[in-house]
A and B are shown apart, each in its own frame.
Chain A
Amino acid sequence: MFWFRRWRVDRSRLQVLRGLSRIFSSENSREARGLRLLRSWLTPEQCAQFDAKRYFEVIGCDSGRRYRIRYGTMSNVLEIDDAGCPKVGWCFVPVGSLVAGDIMLAQKIALETNESGALAVANAFLPKNSPSNTCVPY
């Protein structure tokens, strides 16, 4: 009886340790670190928008145009028209094997501080129909 009880306690401790280890490794994955870094550089409004919709919007520093940066690593920047609809997609990324959070942060900084430079290297594409490409009127 004593051994059985002890075995149950040890087993539950082991489960707790395994759970903590899983949480620790998932929170310290490169993806999680990239998202933490991104969140820490977003405005409170952008952060709330990202948490709710998996995208956030930025204003281009040169043209004043609005861009939607969706969670992703490529073809994830959409220029938004006055009605809140995606007009054109822009594909530009930092070189190297970076995680989504890092790429999105680089795109935000580029559009907010050097929009014309970012668009000069970007490739344009026509946005496809998808839930995150829908019109969101202001």
Chain B
Amino acid sequence: MATQIVMDHTGDTRHYFDAKDSQALAKAEERFKKLTGRGFTAAVRTAPGEVSQIRSFDPTAEETLFFPQLVGG
């Protein structure tokens, strides 16, 4: 089961989907586009603790993390 983790005021919200299900995959891709369009950064783990940013939907990613746009504090 693949997961999209979205940071929010509750800590995070998780969206689980079956990457083999084309409908679920399309929905996940739509969510990806919606979030990144709103300024969220998407990141995936490449090794334990190693991360990389992704700019387009990766259907093979087991876990994708989204965090809101960064601003100066």
Proximity string of chain A (94-128) to chain B, C-beta cutoff 8 Å, 1 when within and 0 when not: 11111101100110111011100110011100000
Contact of A41 with B72 in the complex, beta carbons under 8 Å? no
* B60 at the A interface (CB under 8 A): no
Q: Classify chain B: how many residues form its interface, as a range.
A: 20 to 34
* A93 at the B interface (CB under 8 A): yes
Q: What is the interface of chain A, defined by CB distance below 8 A to chain B?
A: 29-34, 37, 41-47, 74-75, 91-99, 101-102, 105-106, 108-110, 112-114, 117-118, 121-123
Q: What is the interface of chain B, defined by CB distance below 8 A to chain A?
A: 5, 7-12, 39, 41, 43, 45, 48-53, 65, 67-73
A sample of 12 more A-B contacts (CB under 8 A), given A41-B51, A109-B41, A118-B70, is A37-B5, A45-B49, A92-B72, A92-B73, A95-B69, A108-B51, A109-B65, A112-B51, A121-B70, A121-B71, A121-B72, A122-B73
